[in-house]
Amino acid sequence: MILSVDGVSKSFDGFKAINDLSFYLEEGELRTVIGPNGAGKSTFMDLITARTRPDEGQITLHLEEGHDVDLRRVREHQVSQLGIGRKFQNPTVYASHSVYDNLLLSLNNNRGIWASLRFKEQKRDREKIFEVMKAIRLQDVKGTLAGALSHGQKQWLEIGMLLAQDPKIMLVDEPAAGMSDEETDRTGELLLGLAGKHSLIVIEHDMEFVRQIASRVTVLHQGSVLKEGDFDTVRSDEKVVEVYLGRQARKH
Amino acid sequence: MNTMTDYEGKAKKLSDDEILLSIDEFSAGYDASLILKNVSMAVPRNQVVALLGRNGVGKTTLLNSIMGLVSASGGSMTFNGRLVDSLAPDRRARLGIGYVPQGRDIFPGLSVWENLNVSLRVSGVAREEAEARLNEVYELFPVLKEMLKRKGGVLSGGQQQQLAIGRALLLKPKLLILDEPTEGIQPSIIDQIEDAIYAIKKKGNMSVILVEQYLDFARNASDRFYILERGSVVRKGEIDQLDNDLIARYLTV
């Protein structure tokens, strides 16, 4: 196991966004998180990346050889150094730099400020960049300015920028939003290819896409886990159907 | 002529006169992304059309597009016989499109009365007409009359929703657009909003586009439906054709 979230709650102005949530991620797993609006998906990501702190419960990153990190006690900027990378919904790439340079700027070499200033591109850096470009299938446009890429290519580049940092856990928020069908399929292949080498949590609404990538699905509702299982188990669950059709609201 | 075809392919012709809003092969997006892809949709006069689909399929973007808040990358829209593509949102509002966005957007620092009065001022109607319109709104949502001096921001979510709908109705729109009116609202108020839609329908001088996750509510209130998936219309028809197959395929997991 690489990440465990135990009994976590978080309120904002008296509203319980996350309510006694427990969630466990195996190493190398690709987990898809779904849920209707307001289910707490974004807050859940914020908690894992130390953007917000839980009121209760524990969030632990399990590193090698029994080395555990209490994620409640790290600062937001330390999270990426610990190997947790997050890709937000809208692509944020350096528009006036090439694909190659975007990746170069993202490399994780643990450099201090002086080393960064004197930084010279090494052979292993180039190899790493080509490896990432191959994974995100942007080798053919390596010299293109990021701002000139299609929406889908920008999303892949941003995933590549996360990859350049060798993350252990990747949090990916709605990668398929705004993509063409073909781009969506390719994104699915890309994420499936990353599983195993990385552990992934993907938040997504597009059910065709979820079906394509999902092995294990977690359904969030009102800040808790409503159901967990493979795609077919989840989609045939009566509670899940009710929640998606808004019927839960009526019963409270 | 615009054609409304149900998903089984039985065509039912509607004349141009019968259609209030016609959206033709409309495409739009933000930056380089494409959210709406060749969407065509017809809203007949005096009917309630449910716009359905899961999160993120483009429903709110389509509503924003109707209001002129998103610029088109292709296609066109005709409202009440007039092309509106080049019109700014305020011009569209004056032509008779009323929009109650998700999250309601009432003025929290203004009282209920002041919120309503904004609409009356904008509409510029004479006093008698204003009184008549207000009374219609109070009839639909009695709670507003009881709380005229209360600040909008301290109302419950349901009361805010009623205020937002009431405020839109004061402008006598020909088309009322409601984006998830039941979201986060207690059941008793959901019933009142449902009743208000019935009352609007009965009067027979307004069309409604209803985006709603709460399926039973949408089904009860609507005449027709459109389902969006990945920014395209994948199904449309009379509301009684919305069967369990379609629901499982496009609305649940």
Mutate to test the interface with B, among A34, A154, A183, A206 (most CBs of B within 10 A): A206
pLDDT at B232: 95
Of B33, B212, B253, the CB nearest to A178: B33
pLDDT at A224: 95
Mean pLDDT on B55-68: 94
Q: What is the pLDDT of residues B203-237, one digit of tens each?
A: 888 999 999 989 999 999 999 999 999 999 999 99
**Is it the case that residue B183 has pLDDT exceeding 90?**
no
pLDDT at B3: 47
Measure in Å the smallest separation between the Cα of A153 and chain B Cα atoms.
Answer: 10
Which CATH number covers residue A233? 3.40.50.300
**Is it the case that residue B186 has pLDDT exceeding 60?**
yes
Q: What is the pLDDT of residues A98-126, one digit of tens each?
A: 999 999 998 865 556 666 666 677 888 89
Spatial CA neighbour of A84 closest among A112, A106, A61, A51? A61
pLDDT at A117: 64
Radius of gyration for chain A, computed over Cα atoms and rounded to the nearest angstrom: 19
Mean pLDDT on B64-68: 96
| Residues B211/A210/A161/A86 CA torsion (nearest 10 deg) | 70
Question: Domain of B78?
Answer: 2-250
Name the closest residue on chain B to residue A38, using Cα atoms.
B184
User: How many Å separate Cα B12 from the centre of its chain?
Assistant: 23
Q: Is the ipTM of this complex over 0.95?
A: no
Across the interface, whether the CB atoms of B252 and A234 are under 8 A apart is answered: no
pLDDT at A115: 64
Contact by Cβ (8 Å): A91, A173: no
pLDDT at B151: 94
Q: Tell me which of A251 and B90 has the higher pLDDT.
A: B90
Q: How many domains does the structure of chain B reveal? A: 1
Measure in Å the smallest separation between the Cα of A18 and chain B Cα atoms.
Answer: 16
Question: Domain of A11?
Answer: 3-251
Which CATH number covers residue B235? 3.40.50.300
Measure in Å the smallest separation between the Cα of B77 and chain A Cα atoms.
Answer: 22
Interchain contact B244–A (C-beta under 8 A): no
Q: Which residues contact B142 (CB under 8 A, 6 or more apart)?
A: none
Radius of gyration for chain B, computed over Cα atoms and rounded to the nearest angstrom: 18
- Sheet order of strands, B97-100 included: B97-100, B175-179, B207-211, B48-52, B224-229, B232-238
Mean pLDDT on B105-131: 92
**Is it the case that residue B5 has pLDDT exceeding 60?**
no
Positions in chain A short of pLDDT 70: 108-119, 248-252
Q: If DSSP codes are grouped into helix, strand and coil, which group holds residue A172?
A: strand
Q: What is the pLDDT of residues B152-172, one digit of tens each?
A: 999 988 899 999 999 999 999
Q: What is the DSSP letter of A39?
A: S
The three-state DSSP-derived secondary structure of B81-98 is CEECCCCCHHHHHHHCEE
Residues of A in contact with B252 (CB under 8 A): 235, 240-241, 244-245
pLDDT at B43: 97
| Mean pLDDT lowest among A239-248, B21-30, B70-79, B107-116 | A239-248
pLDDT at B9: 45
Q: How many domains does the structure of chain A reveal? A: 1
